[in-house]
Amino acid sequence: MRRVLVTRPEPGASRTAQRLDALGFKPILLPLTETVALPVDAAGVAINAAAVAVTSANAARHAPKEISTALARLPCHAVGRRTAEAARAAGFLSVGEGPGDAEALADALAGDYAGQTIVYLCGRVRFSGFEQRLQPAGVQVRAVETYDTVVLDYSDEAVLARLSGRPVEAVLLYSAKAATAMQAMAGRPALGELFKKTCFFALSGRIAAALETVASEQLRVAPEPSEEALLELLQTSP
């Protein structure tokens, strides 16, 4: 049974572990990052806003109640299914499910909201492509940072214990920050042998680019940035 290291933060890590178990893999949870809520001032957040955009389920999950209440009646455009579910759970009344890619969502919104203001629920650490893509259409993006992503530190002993001192066949990477942390971990003298023959599966090319010292033959990139595509790639890789 192939052992797969899951590096994403909770609660997503446990969901992924369940899916891996159902597919016949042996999941090992080692979240390399965690998300923490940020204080947000709700005053004036909805003024002149035509819609809400969310490209991360964590952004909706960590949004304070006063923020979601102030914005609840605006059309909410989520990047994909999981984010749409989180937005509905947060109290948004009209949630649209996007194509699963932040830049594609921006392209879709550019025509509908040219010259208008969109409230963007997001993290402090985020890919800038969504906001940049809307600029040419004159869409004003009001970024509301609801959470931050911080790196978790593990001692060599803790990692060895989690992996039972044995190598893993695969590592799943969902963010560039986690990929950078994974690369540093794999480079430690006490841990290097555990990852010598590991294959690293990245959710996107941007995430894969953070693995600067990983050999190309040990790297796989999902054809689209979704967990479904990532797990299918894992299943079909030798």
- Cα gap 70→36, rounded to integer Å: 22
pTM: 0.84
Mean pLDDT (10-residue bins), the chain, 238 residues: 94 95 97 95 94 96 95 96 95 93 92 96 90 94 96 96 96 96 96 95 94 92 92 94
**Per-residue confidence (pLDDT) for residue 64, from 0 to 100:** 95
| CA distances from residue 64 to 59, 83, 168 in whole angstroms, order as listed | 10, 16, 39
| Strand order through the sheet with 199-202 | 26-29, 3-6, 170-173, 199-202, 219-221
Give the pLDDT of residue 225: 84
pLDDT of residue 182: 97
pLDDT of residue 1: 82
Write down all domains in the chain, each with its CATH number in brackets.
3-32+152-236 (3.40.50.10090), 36-149 (3.40.50.10090)
